[in-house]
Amino acid sequence: MDIIYIRELKIDTVIGIYGWERQIKQTVVFDIEMATDISQAAATDSIEHTLNYKAVAKRLIDFVSSSDFQLVETLIEQVAEIILTEFSVPWVRVQLNKRGALRGARDVGIIIERGTKP
């Protein structure tokens, strides 16, 4: 199994349960690992034979920036589902970081794994 990853993808969105959070956009930060097989892409040197991380990032930026979930749990599940279904990835690990959400802590967030590791 090979892993293509995206680190510190920062996206502004409406997220949170408090009234003031519903009025502003906050930055959430994603770290994403996606299982794939890069052997055909390596052999052909062709983007068509690999997982296009730019396309993944663009899709997530479009989705997350226009979303307005209350819970980060809902947002992260939706992000994982998009990656699994739209990009035919068998396994994904997504970390969502909502920096500044907890006074006294640098970060707070969630890490999930979905799908089946090959």
Q: What angle do CA 67, 68, 74 make, to 5 degrees?
A: 85
Domains, in order of start, for the chain: 2-115 (3.30.1130.10)
8-22: pLDDT as tens digits: 999 999 999 999 899
Phi/psi of residue 90, nearest 5 degrees: -75, -25
**98 annotated active-site:** yes
Which one of 54, 58, 98, 117 is the catalytic residue?
A: 98
51-81: pLDDT as tens digits: 999 999 999 999 999 999 999 999 999 999 9
Contact 87, 51 (CB under 8 A): yes
Give pTM, 2 decimals.
Answer: 0.94
